[in-house]
Structure 1
Amino acid sequence: MTNSKEKLLEVKDLAVTFTQGKKSFTAVKNVTFDVYKGETFSLVGESGSGKTTIGRAIIKINPTSAGEVLFHGKKINGKLDETTNREVIRNIQMVFQDPAASLNERATIDYIVSEGLHNFHLYKNENERKEKVQNALASVGLLPEHASRYPHEFSGGQRQRIGIARAMVMEPELLIADEPISALDVSIRAQVLNLLKKFQQEKNLTVLFVAHDLSVVRFISDRIAVIHKGRIVELAETEELFTNSLHPYTKSLLSAVPLPDPHIEKTKELIVYNEDMHDYSVDKPEFHEIKPGHFVWANQQELAEYKKELK
């Protein structure tokens, strides 16, 4: 997937701080990663780890307090001129976590899906607009007659498909999928994941997938970054992360993935992560590339231990 290694998105030392009165909270700290064209890159972590904040910062919903976000080598965070701003909106689309809250209940599906087409004048005439909407709906498994209906007439899974159709009708280069399946039934989850995989293969779509479930991202990802308290603690290709996880937090997340065999599931040992196991008082941690493509947040002492583990 990443053989061409063309960097579509670069995130460098990104920080996001929220301020309320005199209080401030840094939700994302010094986050650095690249996303290559045509791959699925996943951000994984518990609720409140900052993964959604990163996705929203890339698409400019959350302002950044430090660092850079580059798209095709061009800076897209901070103040932008009108042309660059429109380019970002046009080429980076987002599918939101809550399919109910992200759709306008008073608008028809036809209006919802074609809103971006209107804003960017991406059609020559009314017939072409209708055709694009119908094609977008068909691509996510919905029927032409669904265009005249309203969001409340659809199930959660169907609404998420509408959200995907709304994003894909813009023909974006990068799709940010923010926990797109967490609000759905298990049976519907696989359908939505297969849909994203289909778009990736057919349209060479690049996906930044945000999730808290490692078993889900294993199926869909080329590379995975594990986030804890606003910081990436480990980043590697999918199978490398599952077979050679190093950071205790990654191991803790992996131990929580349910196993299909009930006997093994009953006897397996859960790994509980405790930050107190790190002593960063003198020997400060940094983000190290411990082997090609495998990065881990560690100090020098931990790094030496991790290198022994890999041998």
Structure 2
Amino acid sequence: MSDFDSNPFADPEIGSPFQDPSVTQVRQAVPPGLEEYNPFTDAKPTPGGMAPKTTAPTINTQPAIMKPTEEPPPYSQPQEQSGAAAELLRRQEELERKAAELDRREREMQSLSASGGRKNNWPPLPEKFPVGPCFYHDITVDIPVEFQKTVKIMYYLWMFHTGTLLANMVGCLAWFCVDTSRGMDFGLSILWFMLFTPCSFVCWYRQLYGAFRSDSSFRFFAFFFVYICQFGIYVIQCIGITGWGASGWISALTGLNRSIPVGIIMILIAALFTSLAVMSLIMFKKVHAMYRTTGASFEKAQQEFATGVMSNKTVQTAAANAASRAAQGNFKEQI
């Protein structure tokens, strides 16, 4: 172990490699100051005989930032991307609204089924009234979201129709007051009000309500047929033929010759009938356009009619009685 701990260069026979003449010559040829040079520092080597330069202490300052001569243009999203994002947001809001509406309708249907079914709520009559409501009417519950606006407009149009018939009755009454020979017009105006108000609700508005509620092709066709007739009645009432119980344009001009205030009232009523005719035509086209998007057809209407007729208990009873009578007749003839 002592051999390993001893210095091999201490042997005078071997000598130190650093005392070799070639090494000592190279060391003497090194420029003064290079021995103190540290390559890992930024300081330059100083020549021999000169004191090293001392650097002044640096002050910690903010880095220099060059300001642009022109402001960069503001970042603007392309119009197509912004339009697509707006469309996606609109569709998402629409889907969320529909989901909330369906959830609400489902909860209402569950509450109604738990309470024993839906109760009729139209017309809204007092509880002490001897006659109760005849129909269940709730657009937000029965009608899909995309058709609710159209059904509401048709309901308001029916109410406008009822108000116009009431105003027509008042106008005919005023005409009868200034001209006693117009009693027939006043009587017919009362009949039109009492007849067309419930019939219009049942025959065309209720058909439209049921068509959108159950997507029934047969009810759509029933609505179109009745509403065309209703439009024809609006046109006749708008014309105002004397003796037909309508304060149309002809009757209004006739009443204007007898009394200016009565004539003005009848002209306003004629304008109401004209508005009804125009709005009914617009809504007829709108409903027909929506009907074509629902997938309804005349073949479906025939199938629904046949299914409804065959499922009717009265029709089934009548068919069974007719079949039994025919069988009995055939049996008697054979005997």
Please give the range of the TM-score, normalised by the shorter of the 2 chains.
under 0.3
Give TM-score scaled by structure 2 length. Answer: 0.21
The structure having more radius of gyration, on CA atoms, is 2
Indicate the structure with greater strand content.
1
Indicate the structure with greater helix content.
2
Higher relative contact order (CA 8 A, sep 6+): 1
